[in-house]
Amino acid sequence: MSEMRDLKATTMPLLDSVVERLCHPSSLDAVWHRPAQGAAMPSLKDLTEIMERLRAAIFPGYFGSARVWRESMRYHLSANLDTIYRMLCEQIVRGFCFGCAGDSNPCTSCESDGEKAAGAFMDRLPEIRRLLAGDAKAAYEGDPAATSPGETIFCYPSMQAMLHHRIAHELYELNVPVIPRIISEMSHSATGIDLHPGATIGEEFFIDHGTGVVIGETCVIGRNCRLYQGVTLGALSFPKNADGTLTKGIPRHPILCDGVTVYAGATILGRVTIGKGAVIGGNVWITQDVPEGARILQERPRA
Amino acid sequence: MSEMRDLKATTMPLLDSVVERLCHPSSLDAVWHRPAQGAAMPSLKDLTEIMERLRAAIFPGYFGSARVWRESMRYHLSANLDTIYRMLCEQIVRGFCFGCAGDSNPCTSCESDGEKAAGAFMDRLPEIRRLLAGDAKAAYEGDPAATSPGETIFCYPSMQAMLHHRIAHELYELNVPVIPRIISEMSHSATGIDLHPGATIGEEFFIDHGTGVVIGETCVIGRNCRLYQGVTLGALSFPKNADGTLTKGIPRHPILCDGVTVYAGATILGRVTIGKGAVIGGNVWITQDVPEGARILQERPRA
Amino acid sequence: MSEMRDLKATTMPLLDSVVERLCHPSSLDAVWHRPAQGAAMPSLKDLTEIMERLRAAIFPGYFGSARVWRESMRYHLSANLDTIYRMLCEQIVRGFCFGCAGDSNPCTSCESDGEKAAGAFMDRLPEIRRLLAGDAKAAYEGDPAATSPGETIFCYPSMQAMLHHRIAHELYELNVPVIPRIISEMSHSATGIDLHPGATIGEEFFIDHGTGVVIGETCVIGRNCRLYQGVTLGALSFPKNADGTLTKGIPRHPILCDGVTVYAGATILGRVTIGKGAVIGGNVWITQDVPEGARILQERPRA
Amino acid sequence: MSEMRDLKATTMPLLDSVVERLCHPSSLDAVWHRPAQGAAMPSLKDLTEIMERLRAAIFPGYFGSARVWRESMRYHLSANLDTIYRMLCEQIVRGFCFGCAGDSNPCTSCESDGEKAAGAFMDRLPEIRRLLAGDAKAAYEGDPAATSPGETIFCYPSMQAMLHHRIAHELYELNVPVIPRIISEMSHSATGIDLHPGATIGEEFFIDHGTGVVIGETCVIGRNCRLYQGVTLGALSFPKNADGTLTKGIPRHPILCDGVTVYAGATILGRVTIGKGAVIGGNVWITQDVPEGARILQERPRA
Amino acid sequence: MSEMRDLKATTMPLLDSVVERLCHPSSLDAVWHRPAQGAAMPSLKDLTEIMERLRAAIFPGYFGSARVWRESMRYHLSANLDTIYRMLCEQIVRGFCFGCAGDSNPCTSCESDGEKAAGAFMDRLPEIRRLLAGDAKAAYEGDPAATSPGETIFCYPSMQAMLHHRIAHELYELNVPVIPRIISEMSHSATGIDLHPGATIGEEFFIDHGTGVVIGETCVIGRNCRLYQGVTLGALSFPKNADGTLTKGIPRHPILCDGVTVYAGATILGRVTIGKGAVIGGNVWITQDVPEGARILQERPRA
Amino acid sequence: MSEMRDLKATTMPLLDSVVERLCHPSSLDAVWHRPAQGAAMPSLKDLTEIMERLRAAIFPGYFGSARVWRESMRYHLSANLDTIYRMLCEQIVRGFCFGCAGDSNPCTSCESDGEKAAGAFMDRLPEIRRLLAGDAKAAYEGDPAATSPGETIFCYPSMQAMLHHRIAHELYELNVPVIPRIISEMSHSATGIDLHPGATIGEEFFIDHGTGVVIGETCVIGRNCRLYQGVTLGALSFPKNADGTLTKGIPRHPILCDGVTVYAGATILGRVTIGKGAVIGGNVWITQDVPEGARILQERPRA
């Protein structure tokens, strides 16, 4: 039990007044969101559990039970996937309801959209694992301090970020509202790597150290790229609509071709293309295309 | 139960010796802190629970139970606020005791100061919600990737940082020791945004991405400002006292007027004023005042 | 109980197929790691508990129970250390098995190596506390916003990072595989400070704010140094072996002599030496030695 | 984590075969029950939580939080009752589905029946408390070892049995299937008192010690009665239907008028009436009516 | 999370009305008990934890951690006893406050009485263990189905009952209100053995099977006695005071001298003395003294 | 956190002295049991979890998750049985070690005996379910208050007792030490029915109400028998060995042929045979054989 002070009778009117003001529509309406048809809101707690279960399904032995054997893996995997599917299906439906307009009979379509999306996502799990195995290989090969691919699975922020991203990106591609972003932010919080679920990332991707990396919604990254901490792949400016609001969804972030390396603190802004195998030096600021194989280093004032 | 190796009899003398050394005053005194009158220390665990409860009270439906209805909200809000008040009151009193000199009869005053502060804080909750609703609106309007204000409440690091800051700042204003800083660091850990509880921040504030942002104790930020990741609003130098120790508490951080935007990685140091509507470009380094409406961009060496 | 949708019979073949594919050697082998002799894998959950227990043993009153008294501290410390030793011993043995080649009779040697390392580590605990008490003093003296050393123990990211580092470094010195890195990443995740367990760090070390700091494996840092957020002490290039793979383990990160200060965002790369008492300004980029007492500031283009 | 042995590959075929046999309809059908419309089954775990919440609502301070004050009781009571209503409503609907025939559209009626019953039950809570307060008074007055009515609320099995009975009986009267019996058995398990939810029991009822008491479904007990351990108020014989099955539901248990005392181990069988104020001695066996005021003692062979 | 139905707006007035009625003094006063000086009520949850900790301290290895070694037992015992003392002290003080008259300044005396009682109780722990070791020996020797004394410690109801009784009786002797009775009822609930904490029980006592046994407050039982299930050692009648209330506290239950055996279902009532080594047969009813060495068997009508 | 009083320095010597006395061999040896080879003791906590998992495997939907569907049952059953096998195997090995003599190399044989027994037990699970389904049918048919077999599975003490018994009896037949008895006592505690794991019980067995029933180790009960509360099937006397100790293991309890009914409170003692279809009336005392079809009623003194 948490430790508490007793409440004095004189404090009651104060609390009553606070409740009154917090329940007043003038206060409540500004933060109140009611999903279509009174559906429940997505649950951070359940999404957290889903991510833990997915991690254990994708990397058995590393996460979840530390005592997993090949012999009975099928047993636990079956049970775990059944639970994942049913929990995720519930959250995806809530996601659709959260976003839907709420006219006529939205929930029927949210339900069927949600179930379809959950099924399609499950079907992609083996592919997600294949991609993540490639990312672990890239991490091991890219970091002289790494002693085995297994070590990178256990504790590299890059692997945690990519686990979340490859899952969130599938859901993003399936047009699931809100949920992909919630998943991305879980990993942003844990790793300091801010990977928008919309970004398209090729095989064998590695981010070293990672803190402060930002990769925007419409980025396209090829195979075998490597980033270091503090790299920004961002937008240069935000086009506005006639009414002054931001235009949402247009391509505005960089394209990195295969084999690009971007060193720490570099900033690449706008829909520019960084050519195959190019190397962008630390702290460099890029707003134009870079040709294949180029090595861009900042001429910097020396101390 | 956690898994353990058995202890060998031969290891006992070693453990005995370690205990002996850790209990010896020469070791213990360096880390030992006894609050005035033997009061208990603040509890991270209880403060974490308090923050979760506050979050559920301010944003019902998003956090805490995913199934909250307007009909019975008053019920749960009343019970939750009663618990919050009593838990927080206990922690605030501990905070005062942690900091007090411990002479004559400090705890009587700590108790009455603590209860007064807890009551005053509760009274501010509706205002804190109003400010946070404004921050959510700013986040939605400022990020082309955001699909609704609700999405920003659910998962934007900016909202998590501001929730903690607006709460911690109230407690800071009420001169509660230690507790505000503990609350700030909870959100620093989760978001990578280091917002000192002393900073004064106006309405509709938004930090995009956020990792690496540092906002110092004596900053003053106007309405409708926007920062990007990696921005530092820091001190230029620390004046020292005659005895060589740092002078604590004097204004040493920037003032941002209304409508200022600071792009990623910019550094603004010292008690300078950034004029209304000014725009500070990415990676720019500022140690002097900037006039109203200015657009400061670094002339940068191109690659 | 988590909330779940019911499973439709038509979804079963899909799940069956996913299980089939995830259990197929072509998928499983890429992520499967079996420690020598079928030992269990290290457990993140148990390592987390071990770190919490160590924190409570080193800083009694601050962490763990908020009600600890000198009188009975020996009781709880003894019991806690006994549990720590036995849990840690299990994890260290798993760490050795995780890394060992698995030929002839590895586990006998892993067990004896593990027990030896666990004992040696416990013996170092009083020294670890002594070093951390110095770090708390440095944090208090280095930050004008700090009101007591106790406050820094409670909530400064620098203290959390150093707690993990000084523990992980001891284990690294004892050649324990994987475990030190897992411990480091716990703190990297919580603080945004990426401190490789191999780095050697002197007494009274302080990192202010901390987000984005990277300190590489072969760094050597003297007494009384201070870093700010976003500082990188990294490698300049990675020598490759004849076969094209990275050469692991050679000294490739900076040496900081006693009393060096490095301001926010500075980057120091390669096996360079920063002389005693030198000050490196914000955002400066260093790849060469810096003499004792030097003050290096970037000549920067002003806005 | 629980401690486990590793699984040998040779054990797999055995487990596979056990699963096969347990999933085979020949095994599963005998224990499989599917509520109407695929509704979920009642949940023992949720019913246990409901009973704990009801106990805290009826006897504030004794159960649930030990720190309850009159000042904020309304807060917590409101929130608790809202939760109780919503949890109970779910369980009652499940109870109706568990029992319903499952033709045409049963669940619509189960839902509306369930919600009606849950509302009616809530409305009776103040009356249930009034009756239980009377039972506590009776316990205090009837036991020379009791030192206050509060002590009986805290720990007398009679009070635990009556708490469950008075709740279960209300639900029984509302024709809720299964749930009342589950609640009765919770208290039977804890107290050894087997009180069928159908029994009608008057005010100020007390059972001393209680273990082994059995009170049948159609018993009617007046005001101010007292029983001791091992008393049976049972049926004498079970009439059978033409098809040989037992006739369910007909009155077959005793009637005790006001003020009857039955001492330990006495057995009263069949639809007999024990007159007002009668006293039935220990171990006496009764199958016929007993007149008002009678004192029935067994002539017993003395040792 | 428990599963809940949504609340309909139409149900709100009903719940409001129930809250209103439950908070009304006419309802609340009948069940409301406020300890002297507003102290908190005893906590069943904490008392349950205390009993589990005591059980682990008295029978190490059997209860609590299954992995306890002689080598480090002192460590865990010290920490456990420190916690037991501090938790029990709190509960005993609450017990005194629960029972005290509440005039002038009761709590000062409750506090000092409570601390004195807690200390005196701790001092008796080794003696309590000695007595329980004797009870385990008696159980092993008295039951042909027992295979070792250890088995009786693990799972015999007699041992569970005596563990609770020997602890509760010490507290009873120290005049602690309410708490002993709560502890007794924990074991009554688990074993069906109703042992009043006031009863004085000699060494090497064994109750076989146990369900339904009742032993009254003023019983005195010698060494080496044995009872079977369903035995009652009760009062014959309750003398009343002039005002018609029961006289509390006078000797009214049997005395069993050393070596008495009472078979299943026997009833012994009133302040009678059963002489040394006497044997009371099953179902026998005794209300008079029985001489030393007698064998009392019921002449029973045979079938 | 539990609530605690602070510890006074003056209490320390007392606690030290209690620890000293509890650790002294003169106190510890009387309750200390060290299994062969220093194996861990059986764990009540793990056995409790095993029983809950077995219950959910045998009666899916009733216990464990309330949302189980035929479609994915195989998934969860497989995973659950794998866990059950591995946990149970560990406990059975501990059981063998608990009981073994500890000479030469006992643990090798305990391990292999334990694994063999665990496997043999799993193989019997479908048969255990078949028997329990018969018991549920008997309960439904035997109790006029039962409304469906499902209701008896949910909450009849008879079903809980038989679940534990049929499991414990299998382990008893496999010569597993201690564990069967621990399992039996779990159900004895919950139901008041004391069913020794050695007793052999035929199909379709039902105990109504159950409190106080005792069924001894060597009982043999045929098909379709029914008992009521308070029935004892016990031993008449315990033969002693030449050295005065009890002879363990010889047949000493009654045999009930098929279709026997025994009413409440009846006592049947010794190795007597109750013939097929016999009916034993309430409270009757039997120590001799009863012929087939007999109806034994006590001639009782009427009041």
Chain B nearest CA to E110, separation (Å)? 22
Measured CA to CA, the distance from residue F210 to residue C195 in angstroms comes to: 65
Element (H, E) at A44: helix A44-58
Query: Per-residue pLDDT for D258 more than 80?
Result: yes
**Residue D187, domain extent:** 39-192
Q: What is the pLDDT of residues F7-24, one digit of tens each?
A: 777 788 888 889 889 989
Q: For residue F60, what are the β-bridge partners?
A: F63
- In this prediction, residues B197-205 reach a mean pLDDT of 98
Neighbours of chain C (3+ CB pairs under 8 A): A, B, D, E, F
Q: For residue E268, what are the β-bridge partners?
A: E233, E286
3-state DSSP assignment of residue D144: coil
Average pLDDT of the residues of chain A: 90
* Cβ-based neighbours of A147, under 8 Å, separated by 6 or more: C99, C177, C178, C248
On whether both B172 and B267 belong to a single domain, the answer is: no
Report percent pLDDT > 90 for chain C. 65
What single-letter DSSP state applies at residue D63?
B
Report yes or no: F232 at the E interface, CB cutoff 8 Å: yes
Task: Of B162, B171, B233, give the one whose Cα is nearest residue B203.
Answer: B162
Strands A273-274 and A285-286: unpaired
Contact (Cβ atoms closer than 8 angstroms) between residue E73 and residue B9: no
| pLDDT value of residue C303 | 45
> What string of DSSP letters covers A52-107?
HHHHHHHSBTTBS-S---HHHHHHHHHHHHHHHHHHHHHHHHHHHHHHS---SSHH
Measured CA to CA, the distance from residue F271 to residue F231 in angstroms comes to: 16
Token duo for residue E70:
């002689």
| pLDDT value of residue D189 | 96
**Final residue belonging to a domain, choices E192, E214, E242:** E192
Residues of D in contact with C1 (CB under 8 A): 45
Q: What is the dihedral of CA A2, A6, A11, A15, to 10 degrees?
A: 30
Token duo for residue A8:
């004095």
Report yes or no: C6 at the E interface, CB cutoff 8 Å: no
Report yes or no: E303 at the F interface, CB cutoff 8 Å: yes
Burial class (CB in 10 A: 0-12, 13-18, 19+), E248: middle
Nearest residue in F to A69, CA atom: F82
CB atoms within 10 A of CB B218: 20
Q: For residue A269, what are the β-bridge partners?
A: A234
On whether both F174 and F236 belong to a single domain, the answer is: no
On whether both A259 and A140 belong to a single domain, the answer is: no
Which among E4, E214, E217 has CB closest to D90? E4
Which among B72, B74, B82 has CB closest to D76? B82
- Residue B130 domain flag: yes
What's the pLDDT band for C101 if we cut at 50, 70, 90? low
Report yes or no: A81 at the F interface, CB cutoff 8 Å: yes
pLDDT along chain E (303 residues), means of 10: 74 87 88 74 94 95 80 85 93 90 63 93 96 96 87 95 98 96 97 97 97 96 97 87 78 97 95 97 94 85 47
Measured CA to CA, the distance from residue E113 to residue E98 in angstroms comes to: 13
Burial class (CB in 10 A: 0-12, 13-18, 19+), C162: buried
- In this prediction, residues D60-75 reach a mean pLDDT of 81
Q: What is the pLDDT of residues A151-200, one digit of tens each?
A: 999 999 999 999 999 999 999 999 999 999 999 999 999 999 999 999 99
Neighbours of chain F (3+ CB pairs under 8 A): A, B, C, D, E
The full 3-state SS of B268-299, as one line of letters, equals EECCCEECCCCEECCCCEECCCECCCCEECCC
Report yes or no: D1 at the E interface, CB cutoff 8 Å: no
* Interface test mutation site (partner F, options E154, E158, E299, max chain F beta carbons within 10 A): E154
Query: Per-residue pLDDT for C105 more than 50?
Result: no
- In this prediction, residues C100-104 reach a mean pLDDT of 59
Q: For residue C233, what are the β-bridge partners?
A: C215, C268
CA distance readout (Å), C74 to A69, B22, D280, E236? 42, 9, 62, 54
On whether both B241 and B171 belong to a single domain, the answer is: no
Contact (Cβ atoms closer than 8 angstroms) between residue F299 and residue F284: no
Q: What is the CATH number of the domain that holds B75?
A: 1.10.3130.10
Which phi and psi (to 5°) does residue A207 adopt? -120, 115
Chain C nearest CA to F34, separation (Å)? 19
Length, in residues, of chain F:
303
**Final residue belonging to a domain, choices F130, F163, F192:** F192
The 3-state DSSP composition of chain D as helix, strand, coil percent (nearest 5) reads: 45, 10, 40
Q: Which of B9-13, B28-32, E99-103, E108-112 has the lowest mean pLDDT?
A: E99-103
- Residue C162 domain flag: yes
Could you give the residue ranges of the DSSP H alpha helices within chain C?
12-23, 25-28, 44-58, 70-99, 106-123, 125-142, 149-155, 157-173, 179-191
Average pLDDT of the residues of chain D: 90
- Residue F10 domain flag: no
Max mean pLDDT among B104-108, E22-26, F113-117 falls in: F113-117
On whether both F131 and F61 belong to a single domain, the answer is: yes
On whether both C127 and C238 belong to a single domain, the answer is: no
Burial class (CB in 10 A: 0-12, 13-18, 19+), E70: middle
Q: What is the pLDDT of residues C37-92, one digit of tens each?
A: 667 889 999 999 999 999 999 999 898 877 777 777 888 888 899 999 999 999 99
Q: What is the pLDDT of residues A70-100, one digit of tens each?
A: 778 888 888 899 999 999 999 999 999 887 8
Radius of gyration of chain B (CA): 23
Measured CA to CA, the distance from residue F285 to residue F262 in angstroms comes to: 11
Q: Classify each residue of F126-135 as buried b or exposed e, where b means 16 or more C-beta atoms within 10 Å of its C-beta.
A: bebbbbbbbb
| pLDDT value of residue D6 | 76
Residues of D in contact with A4 (CB under 8 A): 67
Neighbours of chain E (3+ CB pairs under 8 A): A, B, C, D, F
* Number of independent structural domains in chain A: 2
On whether both F84 and F166 belong to a single domain, the answer is: yes
User: Kindly report the CA angle at E92 between E88 and E96, in degrees rounded to 5?
Assistant: 170
Q: What is the pLDDT of residues F117-148, one digit of tens each?
A: 999 999 999 999 999 999 999 999 988 888 88
Q: What is the CATH number of the domain that holds D271?
A: 2.160.10.10
Q: What is the pLDDT of residues B238-253, one digit of tens each?
A: 777 888 777 777 899 9
- Residue E301 domain flag: yes
On whether both B153 and B283 belong to a single domain, the answer is: no
On whether both D257 and D224 belong to a single domain, the answer is: yes
- Residue C275 domain flag: yes
Please give the order of strands across the beta sheet that includes B295-296.
B206-208, B226-228, B261-262, B279-280, B295-296
Residues of B in contact with E11 (CB under 8 A): 71
Residues of B in contact with C61 (CB under 8 A): 32-34, 41
What single-letter DSSP state applies at residue F60?
B
Max mean pLDDT among A93-107, A229-243, D48-62, E102-116 falls in: D48-62
Report yes or no: E65 at the D interface, CB cutoff 8 Å: no
User: Kindly report the CA angle at F89 between F87 and F90, in degrees rounded to 5?
Assistant: 65
- Residue C7 domain flag: no
Report yes or no: B1 at the D interface, CB cutoff 8 Å: yes
Chain A nearest CA to F76, separation (Å)? 5
Measured CA to CA, the distance from residue B100 to residue E51 in angstroms comes to: 39
Q: Report yes or no on whether pTM surpasses 0.95.
A: no
| pLDDT value of residue E59 | 94
* Cβ-based neighbours of F64, under 8 Å, separated by 6 or more: F52, F53, F55, F56, F80
Residue identified by tokens 């990519």 is A162
| pLDDT value of residue B105 | 44
Q: Which of A18-22, B238-242, D252-256 has the lowest mean pLDDT?
A: B238-242
* Cβ-based neighbours of E74, under 8 Å, separated by 6 or more: C78, F19, F23
Query: Per-residue pLDDT for B103 more than 70?
Result: no
On whether both B136 and B256 belong to a single domain, the answer is: no
- Residue E29 domain flag: no
On whether both D282 and D224 belong to a single domain, the answer is: yes
Measured CA to CA, the distance from residue A56 to residue B7 in angstroms comes to: 31
- In this prediction, residues D97-104 reach a mean pLDDT of 69
ipTM for the assembly: 0.92
Q: Classify each residue of F149-167 as buried b or exposed e, where b means 16 or more C-beta atoms within 10 Å of its C-beta.
A: bbbbbbbbbbbbbbbbbbb
On whether both A151 and A214 belong to a single domain, the answer is: no
**Final residue belonging to a domain, choices E162, E192, E222:** E192
**Which amino acid type is present at position A223?**
R
3-state DSSP assignment of residue D150: helix
Residue identified by tokens 């002489």 is E275
Query: Per-residue pLDDT for A34 more than 90?
Result: no
Cβ distance of E264 and F234 shorter than 8 Å: yes
> Does residue E109 or residue F237 have the better pLDDT?
E109
* Interface test mutation site (partner A, options B125, B155, B207, max chain A beta carbons within 10 A): B155
- In this prediction, residues D245-258 reach a mean pLDDT of 88
> Please, what sign has the CA dihedral across residues C138, C139, C140, C141?
positive
Query: Per-residue pLDDT for D30 more than 90?
Result: no
- For chain E, where are the E strands, in sequence order? 194-195, 200-201, 206-208, 214-215, 220-221, 226-228, 232-234, 255-256, 261-262, 267-269, 273-274, 279-280, 285-286, 295-296
Contact (Cβ atoms closer than 8 angstroms) between residue F186 and residue E160: no
Task: Of C145, C173, C140, C183, give the one whose Cα is nearest residue C159.
Answer: C140
Task: Of D270, D223, D266, give the one whose Cα is nearest residue D251.
Answer: D270
3-state DSSP assignment of residue A268: strand
Task: Of A117, A110, A118, A116, give the one whose Cα is nearest residue A93.
Answer: A110
Chain B nearest CA to A129, separation (Å)? 26
Contact (Cβ atoms closer than 8 angstroms) between residue A188 and residue B157: yes
Q: What is the pLDDT of residues B39-88, one digit of tens each?
A: 788 999 999 999 999 999 999 989 887 777 777 788 888 889 999 999 99
Contact (Cβ atoms closer than 8 angstroms) between residue C191 and residue C161: yes
